Structure 1
Amino acid sequence: METNMKTKVASDKLGVNPTTVQRWIREFDLHCDVNEKGHYLISASVFHALEEIQRQLQQGFTKKEVVLPTEQENKNKAGEDTISKETPTMIETSVFEERFAQVMATVDQLEKKVNQKADEVVEYQVLNHRQEMDHMSEVLTKLEERMDRIEEALTERPKNVVSIEEPKLKKQAPKKRLASLFSF
């Protein structure tokens, strides 16, 4: 690979339009030398960055999601391929621990919010149940009072009320009755 290539050569190698290469250089703020006519002179490290952009876009990433390798990684891959393409990129332990701590802090905050919401829901339900119980207690008290009044009314009988019953007829012997019919 030559030291600096023109846009047309880079676009041919990538299999894209030269304007696409120019757009990627501008959008991803890649540093390229410019010749006297204003054309880009693409270095090997910038070409590697263009390859990475193309690879990620083909995988379905949006332009905002594309992550470019560092300039040092571009130079390593452009010159000596010290890192195999199959080897995953390692991050430092301190960076990992810091990110992990941030994630855990976020999880803790979310857990606190969920617990707070659950507590609020339970509190609301308890207050509603308490109001229902108070209302039922009032209704029960009124029913008890009414039952007491009804029982008092039923157990109190006026003392001056005389029982009205039909007078009992004296039974007369059958002979006397017959005789009374015919007697003058």
Structure 2
Amino acid sequence: MNTSAVAKLLNVSHSTIQRWVTQLNMEVERNQLGHYQFTDDDIDLLRKIQDQLNEGVVLQKVTISEKKIRKANVKHHTEPEKGQDHLIERISRLEKSLKTKADDVVSYQLLQHRSELEDMQKLVDKLEARIEALESANVPPAEFYLASEEAAAAKKTKKKPFMKNFFGNTKKNGHSSLSTVDSD
């Protein structure tokens, strides 16, 4: 049972149950969320506490002979057990393989970066040669215009509206040139 259900059963508040458990150092199981889970023995123990409190005993002086006291479960190991040696050895092998794999990944990445840098360097060399050729006086005009056309194509051009391509700019002084026909 959870704390709320026990509190309803004993007709006390939720916080009262929690206070009794903590102040009397009762050992109560907890679920995966950390909430108390009371067994029938725990509920019987809480009823005995409630009876003593109803008789006028102060909570600090409540005594229950069969009360469960919280204990720390600490195990001291002086020697590793049989299974632990195997686990320690396996962990060591896994750590070594992980380190090796990490080194392999870094090496692969470095090779990839080196390849990319070499490709970029080839491109830079090619561009430098082209720029030198364009800047030299021996460049035939056709090649110069071809290079400038490529540069212009790379830039975005502003598109004219569809109708302006056919009729051009038809508005003059705020009036359309098509509507200036005199009617006599």
TM-score norm. by structure 2 comes to: 0.35
Larger Cα Rg: Structure 1 or Structure 2? 1
